[in-house]
A = this chain, B = another copy of it.
């Protein structure tokens, strides 16, 4: 048996780093750590003005590097047991060569006015991190240079030469601090596979350090906007897996072949206001992607863990199509449960299929993740039900089977919210109702192990993701106990259960 690898939870995305100062963010991250256990976290804006790292005095023009907020954020991450996946960007205004910005919060996307000053800033940041957290710790944090330089939104004119220059300056500055630090890029958006060859060529030619390569993956088509919202088409799930796989293909034969590949962002839609993110459909769509990705990349980082996120201004409603696994105030969405289910799978893979994954632990506990396959905009309608059958060996005479279900109704706060009339700003009681309706439905029963095997027939509802835990049972003897003597048990059902 193969072990279930951790690449599905190696990393998760977050709104801009400054948002990590917020309570709602921290409480959400604590929950995500407890239930899912992501190892690293990656977001934009570490060097943007609102982090106050690069400060120029108005009195004498002197520069001071300041870590007031950076320390608060990284201290919090480490306290919560999650490590940074450092993205270096965007440009501090006082260091920028231009005024172009991205997002509502105005991240400056122009090259540095002066590459030496930029290198000094990068060295100062890394030195501070090594000083504060220890070099052994910081060596485990990948350092990625910029974000999606192939798009004009994120990098002035999407200028490839300018990015390569920035990459080189940055990578060398990082290595100046400690040769053991890991640096990589080029953090491409989908549709930029023509950058791979020049990137490999550039770094090879100039012998620039590269410890990993990275790109992003999204499955959505063009945005059709409505006020405070967006609709989009979706490709089939396999489109995402193809994107995961692209770096390896394109780098085969280059000096970069064999390097770790990190998909540093992925999701169905790349829009922070597409309601698809709030649905059970999103979970059913991504289930085979999470399982399929295990073979294709060293990590693929869900963009993002929660809806504390402001790229397109402050959300106007609790459900607003945000990327988050959780929306505001820790209301889990169906995709949250998909991840939480996967986190409870066993250590060893017993079986994999188009609609299921079966694992087992050393103590005999068997777990099943099953889903209804869905096909994106052009796929066939998923149907009202989907049957999954799995069968596996189990020790002992009986088993306890517990199942949790998430679909268009169960474990679906978004469904409850619509039934509640879509309150933009729910009161405390309504938030409690939403969290309550967000819990997966639970079923349990006792089954006989027949000929050393258990066979499960699982009937899934529309867009369902199901988690099943099967525990071997050793019934304990209690002399004199006779359930038939319990009132209301006259029909022998209670008793029968042990005799089936």
Residues of A within 8 A of B (CB): 21-24, 26, 50-52, 55, 57, 59-60, 62, 64, 66-69, 71-72, 75-76, 128, 132, 225-229, 231, 234, 275-276, 279-281, 285, 313-318, 328-329, 374, 376-377, 381-382, 398, 400, 402, 408-409, 415-416, 418-425, 427-428, 433, 436-437, 439, 441-442, 444-446, 462-463, 471, 473-476, 478-483, 485-491, 493-494, 497-498
Q: How far is the CA of A317 from the CA of B60 in the complex (A)?
A: 18
Q: Find out whether the CB atom of A479 lies under 8 angstroms from the CB atom of B55.
A: no
Give 29 pairs: A residue, B residue, CB < 8 Å, sorted on A: A21-B24, A24-B72, A50-B314, A55-B228, A55-B313, A57-B228, A62-B227, A66-B316, A66-B317, A66-B425, A67-B425, A68-B314, A68-B315, A68-B318, A68-B328, A69-B314, A227-B478, A228-B478, A234-B487, A276-B487, A279-B486, A279-B487, A280-B488, A281-B486, A400-B416, A419-B446, A421-B473, A437-B444, A463-B488
Q: Name 11 extra pairs, CB < 8 A, besides A229-B481, A439-B442.
A: A51-B314, A52-B316, A55-B228, A66-B314, A276-B487, A279-B488, A381-B488, A381-B491, A418-B446, A421-B474, A441-B442
Q: Find out whether the CB atom of B52 lies under 8 angstroms from the CB atom of A476.
A: no
Q: How far is the CA of A446 from the CA of B415 in the complex (A)?
A: 10
Q: Interface centre among A51, A68, A275, A276, by most B CB within 10 Å?
A: A68
Q: Find out whether the CB atom of B444 lies under 8 angstroms from the CB atom of A416.
A: yes
Chain B residues near A444 (CB-CB < 8 A): 409, 415-416, 419, 437
Across the interface, A59 reaches (CB within 8 A) one of B128, B227, B285, namely B227
Chain B residues near A75 (CB-CB < 8 A): 428
Q: Find out whether the CB atom of B227 lies under 8 angstroms from the CB atom of A479.
A: yes
- Given A314-B52, A381-B491, the answer on whether A226 and B479 have CB atoms closer than 8 Å is yes
Q: Find out whether the CB atom of B22 lies under 8 angstroms from the CB atom of A316.
A: no
Minimum CB–CB distance from A483 to chain B (whole Å) comes to: 8
Q: How far is the CA of A463 from the CA of B313 in the complex (A)?
A: 48
Minimum CB–CB distance from A249 to chain B (whole Å) comes to: 28
- Report the nearest B residue to A284, measured CB to CB: B488
Q: Find out whether the CB atom of B69 lies under 8 angstroms from the CB atom of A476.
A: no
Q: Find out whether the CB atom of B481 lies under 8 angstroms from the CB atom of A419.
A: no
Chain B residues near A26 (CB-CB < 8 A): 23
